[in-house]
Amino acid sequence: MTQIIDLFATPVIAFKFEKHDEYVTKWQNWEKEDNTPEGWNCSLYTSFPNVKSNDPKIPKDLISNLKEDLLFNIKKTLLKHRLSERLKYQTFWYNAYYQGQNQEPHNHLLSPAQGIPPTWSGVYFAKNCLPKQFRFHRADLSLWTQNMFNVSKSPLEKYYEPRHDTVFSDGDVILFPPHVRHSVKVTEPLNVDNQRLTFAFNLDNYYTESYEQQVIRSYRT
């Protein structure tokens, strides 16, 4: 019997934000702007790496409540999958786009907050987000020796997909490993006058005991 074995699959956890309906009416449009940070090759308005307490676009209390409610929902979801819920935000920011704006392929391996890779990266699709705007990219394309034509229309074809267009839309939350490359391209007529708004974040583990204590305890149990 022949088998095709999946090796090293990448987990992406997706769920609906339970309080999305409470927040969706609170996000106001602002005029199309571009404040792309230095070194980014894209066009958008962002609060990266964090939403400041005096942010001119979104009130402080609204962001504080969102972060708290969202983290509660994230922890609840991770517990369902027997994953550690001992998480805190490293960074939390918003990205706003109109038609024609975009974000180039990138990952979140280095956190500007601590200089270390986060445990999880994530996105909350808050407003006017449509399927196929958010895309994941393969990081190992330069290592391929197979030609796509060699695997086309075979069971192996899915393993050589260079990118994946997602179906995420308003109210969805996703968690993924920080090394996974992703991008945004906004071409929809909906976004000519309607701002696409997302909140991106990095999460880090926290522990009440040292790493050495955890290792010792793991061997004892």
Structural domain spans, the chain: 13-220
Is 14 within 8 Å of 172 (Cβ atoms)? yes
Does residue 209 register a pLDDT over 60?
A: no
SS3 annotation, 78-139: HHHCCCCCCEEEEEEEEEEECCCCEEEEECCCCCCCCCCCCCEEEEEEEECCCCCCEEEECC
Exposure string (b/e) for 30-56, b if CB count within 10 Å is 16 or more? eebeeebeeeeebbbbbbbbbbeeeee
Neighbours of 159 (CB within 10 A): 13
Does residue 77 register a pLDDT over 90?
A: yes
pLDDT tens digit string along 26-56?
Answer: 999 999 999 999 999 999 999 999 999 999 9
pLDDT at 208: 52
0.85 surpassed by pTM: yes
Does residue 60 register a pLDDT over 80?
A: yes
pLDDT tens digit string along 130-152?
Answer: 999 999 998 887 777 766 667 77
What CATH number belongs to 13-220?
2.60.120.620
pLDDT at 19: 98
Highest mean pLDDT among 105-114, 157-166, 169-178, 212-221: 169-178
